[in-house]
Structures are given as structure tokens and as C-alpha cells.
Amino acid sequence: MKKLTAVSCIVYSCLLFSCACSRKNYNPIKKYPVQKLQQDYLLLKNILQQKHPSVYWYTSKDSMDYYFTHYYSAITDSMGEQKFNWQILAPLINKLRCGHTSISMSLAYSKWTVGRRLPSFPLLVKVWNDTIAVTANLNQRDSVFKRGTLITSVNGITNHELIKKMFSYLPQDGYADNVNYIRLSANFPYYHRNIFGLSNRYKITYTDSTAKEKIAVLPLYVPPKDSLKKNGHDKVKKREKPSQRRILQYRSLQMDSTGKVAVMTVNSFAQGHLRHFFRNSFKKLQKEKIKNLVLDLRSNGGGRVGLSTLLTRYLISQPFKVADTLYAVSKTLRPYTKYIKNKFLNNVELAFITHKKSDGLYHLRHLENKIYQPKKNNHFNGEIYILTNGPTFSAAALLCNALKGQPGILLVGEETGGGWYGNNGIMIPDIILPNTHLRIRLPLFRLVQYNHIAEKGSGVIPDVYIGTSYDALLNREDKKMLEVKKMIYNKALTNL
């Protein structure tokens, strides 16, 4: 289908520009001259090559150097920060195959978008394998694309090619791309707009209830004028969630009606007063004599290794270590310190926690050498089922690796997005480019997991695979949780 016409582009640009005046005169369509873009690009390239621990971990130096040259050569005209981000930097960063190295728009842009709805692709979808199924339609008057409608192509691009291209703009650990299916499912219109641009009309091929393939044309979704005016000019007030509700979005513990199964959900190892929560939860599990624990890590993107390790100690049956090797390539951010957020603290921490070894690298010996013991008080000794998915990442993947293979523990669900062999992280400050002010996360350490697998590239593979279910999608059911509970109840019946 044709891209937006010149008139549409002007109208859309004027809309954005007029709204921009409401947020401290920020202009989202401002273009930066080639020279400024090249300066930002070369700065980023130099920082990555000198401070990132794994620029050539998955992509050979020859290939990576080719990509550095290729995308630099693509800067031939002035660009706005959005185009520079998505058309130049995002596909470059993808080649690193590092899930912790990602790009965000400038802080000014992020503030400008708060409460604002932009024109977009009109359908929300669930994506898995080569399947795209509608979950919601932004055009409420449309009666064709209902929940469950299966799409086979958009604007003449088949699902396979569409997903493949979109993945090439997104970060991931190695080849563990399961996390990107979840990203597309969470906000397909956002990624489609940034990668393919906007169209006046979208030609969509789909299958109807009789499995017959049909074609429909949907217009670009443009939010109602009233909502644009309200969101563009009125100060957005966030409704503060009650304290308990805020905490529950990070972690919770629930007992089922039979009193035999507990479900512990941990969505982060960064927030939620987890030390207190773990201590009280495992004390309660022991008091209630719970024999089956479902640990849901499907939305856990990681956080503090210390908190992940603490939870592991409540569940593991033998001593363990976090890492075989853990190192940075430098113990200072100089000469790029001024471009790094929290510059002083990062430099101080690098200097004090690392020690140079004979390999010329700066190792974090504490985590390489320390042996952790299982918890003695309130250790859980029952059956454990760990639910995993693409967003199970970083510190959550460390926990999965430590516990996988232990008798009485099953990993259930889908491959984690966090690398099974290892990943980059520990300290992850932001690079802030001086001209466009785009932000790039910079992991400073490479971690190779303790007792890691022989080949790098995959996420932690579950013991029992449970993928996306089309029927569950239609019925709005949590198939993975239902299947795990069925496994527990069936096992209990066989033991009667």
C-alpha cells in the first residue's frame, strides 16, 4: 500500500508540531544535520568498541565492522531522532545480539508522548511463530477483524517476512528471540509504525471462519480529535496506585482453594521489598505445609543478581555459584565519562569492585568465587514448577539455569529470553548522545553462567514445553498456568 500522501504527512507533521508546543516547546519532527548525526554515531561506535564487553561475541569482527561502516554510510541526509533511532541505530544494535544493549528515545521525546495517542496501525495482535491473531481492533466500527481473526499478510508482506524484518530491529540475547514475539504482541502498532512507517490504508489478508483467505483494506487509525486535544495540551495526571497494589504488580503469593498448591509470582528482581517478601512467604509455605509451589517468572525481566540468588537459595538443594567468569574490559569509563549517566558513581564502582587478571580483563572476583549455600530456615522442600517465557530475562535466567535439572523442579512454558550460556549486564548505565540525546543502555560486564551449556545462543529451555494456544487466546485463558495445575492435580491423584 502507498505510504502517507504528501498532504497527509503535512497534516500529521502539523499535528505533532502543534502538540509539541505544549511540552516546553519540544519539536518531535526536528531534523538534525548529517554532521551532528555522524558525530553521535561515531561516538556510540567508539564507546561500544572500547567499553562494551561483547561487541564480537555473536557477530565476528569482520562482520561487525562491516555493519558499523554500512550504517554510517546510510546517514546521507538530515533526520529526526525517531528516524535516526529506528533506521540507523536500532538495526546496528541488533547485530550485537545483546538483550541488555537497547535504545530509547530522548527524555524530552518520552515526556512529550506521555498521555498522547498517535496515529497507528489499527489492530492489536498476538504474535507467535508465523502466526498473527487479532486481539483487539482500535476501529470499533469495524466488524470484520474480531478477536481471533488470523492475519496472513499486511500490505503484501507475509507474516514470516513481516516478523523476520521486525525482529531485525529489536535486541535479544544471542538467538533467543522468544522475547520479541512478546514485544510485538504487547504493542504491534508501535513497532510497525516505527519500522515500516504509516500508511493511509492497510491491505490485510486474513482467513475467515471457514478458513477461506480474504482481503480487506483498513484505514490508518487516527485518535479522535478531542482526545488528541486533551492529551496534547492538558497536563497528564497519573493516578497513584495504593501502596499495596503497587507492590502486588511486582510480586505476590496465593494459595489455591485445595490448600495444596501455592503460586508465587515474581515479576522483577528490582522492586517490591523482596527480601521481606521471600522471608515471610517461605515461612508461610512451611507453616501451611504446602507441597507444590508454582513460581511464575514469565514477566520477570531481571534486576539485582543478589535478589535472584536469594530466591535460588530458598529452592536449591546443593551449593552453587552465580558465574564461571564475570568481567569488564575496562575499569573506567574515560574518556567517555561525560556521556554516561551517573558517570561518577559508575567509575567509582568499576574501580573498587574489579581486579585485573592475567588475561588483561577486569574481573568481579566476588561473584566468580563465592559459593552460595541453600537456606537452612524455611527452605522449600516440595515440588517446584517454574513458569518461563520470552520476558524471563537476565537475573531470572540465572535462577533458571541454577535450578534446572534438580530433582523435584520442572521448568515449564517457553524458552527464556535471557541467555542460557551467559549474558551482559551487572552494571548498565545509559549512554546519552550529545546531539540527538538518544539513550543507549551499556552493559559493562560479561557473565558466563556457572555450569553453563556448551554452546551459546539459546535461552534456558524448559523441561516441559507449553506454547501459545489459539483456543486459550479466544477464551482469554492462561493455558500455561492451567496446564501446570493439571499436572499437579493428576500427580496427586496417582499417588493416592
> Minimal CA–CA distance to 34: which of 1, 86, 90, 73?
73
Residues 6+ apart with CB under 8 A from 373: 313, 319
Q: Do 324 and 368 form a contact (C-beta atoms < 8 A)? A: yes
Strand 261-266 and strand 362-363: the pairing is: unpaired
Residue 8 has what pLDDT?
45
d(CA 183, CA 161): 17
Strand 430-432 and strand 422-425: the pairing is: unpaired
Burial class of 347 by CB neighbour count within 10 A (0 to 12, 13 to 18, 19+):
middle
Q: Is the peptide bond before 335 cis (omega within 30 degrees of 0)?
A: yes
Tell me which H or E stretch contains 355: strand 355-356
Amino acid letter, 336:
Y
Burial class of 257 by CB neighbour count within 10 A (0 to 12, 13 to 18, 19+):
exposed
pLDDT per residue, tens digit, the chain (496 aa), is 445 544 345 445 544 544 444 456 788 889 999 999 999 999 999 999 999 999 999 999 999 999 999 999 999 999 999 999 999 999 999 999 999 999 999 999 999 988 888 899 999 999 999 999 999 999 988 889 999 999 999 999 999 999 999 999 999 999 999 999 999 999 999 999 999 999 999 999 999 878 899 999 999 999 887 654 444 444 445 565 556 677 888 999 999 887 789 999 999 999 999 999 999 999 999 999 999 999 999 999 999 999 999 999 999 999 999 999 999 999 999 999 999 998 889 999 999 999 999 999 999 999 999 999 999 999 999 999 999 999 999 999 999 999 999 999 999 999 999 999 999 999 999 999 999 999 999 999 999 999 888 888 999 999 999 999 999 999 999 999 999 999 998 887 776 5
Determine the Cα angle at 10 with ends 153 and 114, to 5°: 75
d(CA 370, CA 321): 6
Q: CA torsion 477→481→484→488, rounded to 10°?
A: -100
Q: Do 204 and 217 form a contact (C-beta atoms < 8 A)? A: yes
d(CA 78, CA 163): 28
In this structure, what DSSP letter does residue 117 have? -
Strand 261-266 and strand 292-296: the pairing is: parallel
Q: Do 320 and 402 form a contact (C-beta atoms < 8 A)? A: yes
